[in-house]
Amino acid sequence: MNNWNFIGNLGKDAETKALPNGTTVCQFSVATTSGFGDKQKTTWARCAIFGKRAEGGLPQYLVKGQKVAISGEISLDEWEKDGQKHSALKVNVGTIDLVGAKEPSSSSPHPAPPPQNQPSGGHDTGSGFDSFDDDIPFS
């Protein structure tokens, strides 16, 4: 079984195009990190989703910085260019899940303000344990 499960962040927005045979493909690169400190290493994987799944609404959410969890078939693409050997991990995506919200860019000129705690105004909002009646028939 050739399956790789990983979580990482998109390096740039996904690109969707039609292949010469008419099949739609959505391609994007995902960075994963391992290790810590000066031993931390980033590994890039070129990912592709084919067919109807590439035509749906998913590609619009595959934007730079988005964290994703992916499971798919992995292969190693190797080639030589100008006397140099190159290689790249390629993943034929089987499943993909968006993990949380897109992480904010550290270069953003206006970072989002931290959430503010709003006073409840003295009334119950109907959420949490405070919304239960005080007349519980058991102790």
Domains of the chain, each with CATH number or no CATH:
4-103 (2.40.50.140)
CB 75 within 8 A of CB 4: no
Q: What is the pLDDT of residues 25-73, one digit of tens each?
A: 999 999 999 999 999 999 999 999 999 999 888 999 999 999 999 999 9
Q: Which residues pair with 6 in a beta bridge?
A: 70
Q: How confident is the model at residue 2 (pLDDT cuts 50, 70, 90)?
A: confident
pLDDT band with cut points at 50, 70 and 90 for residue 127 = very low
Q: What is the dihedral of CA 8, 63, 45, 52, to 10 degrees?
A: 110
Q: What is the pTM of this model?
A: 0.68
Instruction: Please give the structure tokens belonging to residue 81.
Output: 């260019």
Tokens found for residue 120 = 């409840």
Q: Is 138's pLDDT higher than 50?
A: no
Q: What is the pLDDT of residue 104?
A: 53
pLDDT of 132? 43
Q: What pLDDT digit, counting tens, does each position of 74-119 carry?
A: 999 998 999 999 899 999 999 999 997 765 554 444 344 444 443 3
Quick one: which of 89, 88, 72 has its CA closest to 80?
Answer: 88
pLDDT for 54 equals: 92
Cβ(26)–Cβ(49) below 8 Å:
yes
- Is the pLDDT confidence value at 121 over 90? no
What pLDDT, on the 0 to 100 scale, is given for residue 122? 43
Give me the pLDDT at residue 103, please. Answer: 53
